[in-house]
């Protein structure tokens, strides 16, 4: 299940950057502080929140702090460029290390 969630997260992350309108158009659901909140960001937030609960202890705390900073930057309270990419990459690396630790 963890591997399937990792694949879903990677697919959502790539589709968020590539932007294929035929698969899922970039729909703005609402605006907060004149910043658009899209369907992609909500889907990625749901998958990331689910994956944070499955991470082992040191990675869970790091990803939780990055998630809170990402939410604050999305709301326009802080301005961090590339924070969402850091969060997704940290979760992908954490889950990959966790899965490979069981193999090795």
How confident is the model over 16-48, as pLDDT tens digits?
A: 666 666 666 678 888 887 878 888 778 878 877
Q: What percent of the chain has pLDDT over 70?
A: 81
Q: Which domain holds residue 40?
A: 2-103
pLDDT of residue 59: 74
pLDDT of residue 18: 61
What is the Cα 26 distance to its own chain's centre?
16
Neighbours of 77 (CB within 10 A): 10
pLDDT of residue 23: 64
Neighbours of 70 (CB within 10 A): 23
Cα gap 104→99, rounded to integer Å = 9
pLDDT of residue 33: 77
Q: How many independent structural domains does the chain possess? A: 1
Whether 78 shows a pLDDT value over 80: the answer reads no
DSSP-H helix ranges across the chain: 2-18, 39-54, 57-74, 83-103
Residue 25 belongs to what H/E stretch?
none
Whether 15 shows a pLDDT value over 80: the answer reads no
What's the pTM value of the predicted model, to 2 decimals? 0.62
Whether 1 shows a pLDDT value over 80: the answer reads no
How confident is the model over 7-23, as a mean pLDDT?
Answer: 69
Spatial CA neighbour of 9 closest among 90, 82, 71:
90
Scan for tokens 């850091």, then name that residue: 86
């Amino acid at each position: 299940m963890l591997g399937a969630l990792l694949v879903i997260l990677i697919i959502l992350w790539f589709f968020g950057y590539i932007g294929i309108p035929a698969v899922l158009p970039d729909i703005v659901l609402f605006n907060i502080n004149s910043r658009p909140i899209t369907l992609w960001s909500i889907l990625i937030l749901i998958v990331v929140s689910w994956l944070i609960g499955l991470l082992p202890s040191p990675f869970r705390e790091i990803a939780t702090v990055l998630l809170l900073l990402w939410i604050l930057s999305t709301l326009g309270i802080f301005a961090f460029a590339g924070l969402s990419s850091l969060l997704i990459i940290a979760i992908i690396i954490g889950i990959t290390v966790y899965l490979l630790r069981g193999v090795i």
